[in-house]
Structure 1
Amino acid sequence: MATTTLPPSAAPPLAETVLEFPDNYLLIDLCGEYDRNLTDIEERLAVQILRRGNQLSVLGDPDSRARAAEILQALYNRLESGKGVEPADIEREVRMGPAAEPAADPGGEEQIEMFQGGPVEIKTRKKLVEPRTDAQKAYVKSLFDNELAFGIGPAGTGKTYLAVAVGVNMFMQGQVDRIILSRPAVEAGEKLGYLPGDMKDKVDPYMQPLYDALNDFLPGKQAAKLMEEKQIEIAPLAFMRGRTLSRAFVVLDEAQNATTMQMKMFLTRLGEGSRMVITGDRSQVDLPRGVSSGLADAERLLKHIPKISFNYFTSKDVVRHPLVAAIIEAYDADEA
C-alpha cells in the first residue's frame, strides 16, 4: 500500500488566538516603537504575534498563547486607564501570572497569598510604584496590613525600595508624622579607616542607599526640607538607643549586620501608631566572625507571633539587571 508524504508547505498551520482592540491609537502604543513590545512578549513566551489591522494574532502552543493573550489584554487595559507601557510593565505582567510559584521560607511554608484584588500601587510624590513579582505584591500588602514586617532575601529584590515607597505614601496620607530610615554602619568586607568630616560626613557613605531610594520618591528640595525639619531622619542603628518612635514609619535596612542586642534594642523602639519594617539578606553578613546576626535570631524568636509578617524573596524576584539573578543563583548553587 502506497503512502503519501506531505511536502513541508502542506504541514498543518499553527493554532492561533485572535484578539481585537477597538482603539487603534492605543494599539499602536501597545505594540510599541517598531513593535518592540510585541517582540519582547514573543521572546519571553516563545510565541509569534502578527498584527492585522486592529487585531493581534498569537500563534504557538495552547498554554503560551493563552498567557500571551492575557498579558496583551492586561497591557491594553493599562493603556485604557491612562497609563503607559514600559519594558518593566511587560516584565511585571509576565512574572505575575497565575502560574507563578509562591516563594517559601527555609522550612518550606508558603509565604505568599495569591491576592485577587487587582494591582497593588504605591503613590509617591514623583512616581507610581507597582510591584513586579508576586512576592513583591505580597510584601507591599503586608507592609500596609502589619505594624511589624520583615523582608528577607537576596540583593535586588526591592525590599528596601518598596518599604521606603510605602513609608512615603503613608507620610503623604497623614498616617504617620515622620519617616525614620536606619541601617548598621558596618563595612562590607574592607576597612575604610577614619573618615573625614563631622558626624554626618562620617555616616553618610553608609546611609547612601537610603538617600537614593528616598530621592526616587520625593523631589530633591522637598526631601531636603523634610530632613531639615526632622520629619525624615536617616541615621545609623546606634543612634536609635533610648528613643521611642511614635507615629513613625521606621525602616531598618541591612538588618543581617545588626547584632542580637542591637536588633532587640531596635525592635523595642516601636511606639504608638508606628510601623516598622526590617529588611535583610542572610547571605551578606559582614559581622565579625563569631558574632551572631540579629536578623537570624529575630526570625527564629518572632516567627509565630501574630501580626508580625515574614516575607521571603528568591533570585526569581530580582528586578535589577537580569545578570544579577544569574549571579545570585551561581553563588547559591556553589554554597549548596
Structure 2
Amino acid sequence: MSTAFDVRVLDSVVRVDFDASVPAELRERIRGHWVDLVEDGAEPTVTLTANLGNGRHSSDPQHRIISAPSAEQLAARIVSEATLAGIAGLSGSALMLHAGGVALDDGRVIALVGPSGRGKTTASRALGRHYGYVTDETLAVYPGGDVVPYRKPLSIGTDPDSKTPHPASSEGLRGLPDAPLVLDAIVVLDRRDGIAEPYVETIPVLESLEALVPQTSFLSSLRNPLRTLVSTILSTGGVRRVVYSEAETLGELVDEILSTRTDESPHLVDVGVSTNDCDCGAKLGEEEVVVEAAPGTLYRRSEYRDALSVDDALVVFRQNLVTVLDGLGPVLWFSAADSTAAEITDAALKEMPEPPPGVDPAAIIEATLDELVTANLLVRA
C-alpha cells in the first residue's frame, strides 16, 4: 500500500513520498500536518521523496529527494520544499509576497508582510481565529488582485530549522469564505517591545518598494515587475505599517487598516517605453561641453531588470534589490549611454537649477557619478 499523499500548494499539486528509512508512525504524523490540503485525483507536478539521515539528493526539479537527520527537521524540510515547489509553479504569473494573510467574510484579504522572525505566523494565528486563514508565509496575487490561498501548516517554534508544522484546523483557525479572495490591504508588520497602544501608519510608495521587494519571490520573472508591484500597492490604498507588541491586539486594528489609505497618486512611466520628461539623450548631441573627461572614459548603465519613473524619482530594480534615485541621480543615469563625463555633465547642467553661490555643480556631478558607479548602477568603460 502506498504511503504517498498529494497536497495542494498554491496552484500546484505536490506528492509527498517516503523511502524505507522513514518509519510508518512518522509518515502518518507528517501526513497529519497536511490534512487541510490533501488533494485526491489530481496529477502531481512535483514529487518529494523524504528520507532520514542518509543525505541523498536529486537535481531533478520534478522529483526532489530531501533528507534530514531527525523527524522534526524532516517535517520542517517537507513544508519548506513543498512551499518552494508551489512558488516556482507560479513564477512569472503572480506577485508572491513573503506574507501571512487573512480574509474577511466578503473575500477581502489583508496581507501581513515581514521577513522570517517578524511575527507572520503569530499574527496569522491571532487573526485567523476571527477571519479566514489564507496563509502564514506565502501570499500569491494574480494581476487584478485575485489571491491564491495556501492554508499551509503553520510553522510553530523558536528554532527556524525545525519548527513544528501544525494544520490550521488543529489551531482553531477559520476556513475561507465562499466569496472570491481579492487583495485589499498590504501591511508591514513592525513588532516592537513596549508598545502600549498599537497603531497604523501609511508608508510612502517609494519607501514601501524598498520594504517589499526583499519580501518577494521570483519578482524578476514578472513581465513588468516594478509596474506590477507599484500598481498592486496603489490599488490596495498604499502599504500600511502596523506597530505593535502583542499579536492579540491586531484584531482591534483591522477596521483602521482597511480604512487607512494613501492619498498618493504618482505619475508612473515605464523606462522601457519612455525616459520621463528629461530629454537628456537629445541634449548629448549639442555642442556645449563644460567639463573635459579623461580620455577613453565612458559611462554606461549597468545591467538591470526593470526601471520605473515615479514622479521625479527613478526606481531601478536589479539583482532583487531596488534603488531609488532622485535629484541628479535620474538625469545622470539616463544620460549614461556610452557617454563621457563631459557629455553627462553638459546634459545634467541643463536640467539643474542655478546653483547657490560658491557651489561647484561639476564637482557635485562628478561625486554623484562616483556614487552611482559604487552602487553598481553605472559602469566605467
Q: TM-score, normalised by structure 1?
A: 0.27
Q: Give TM-score, length-normalised by structure 2.
A: 0.25
Structure whose alpha-carbon radius of gyration is higher:
2
Higher relative contact order (CA 8 A, sep 6+): 1
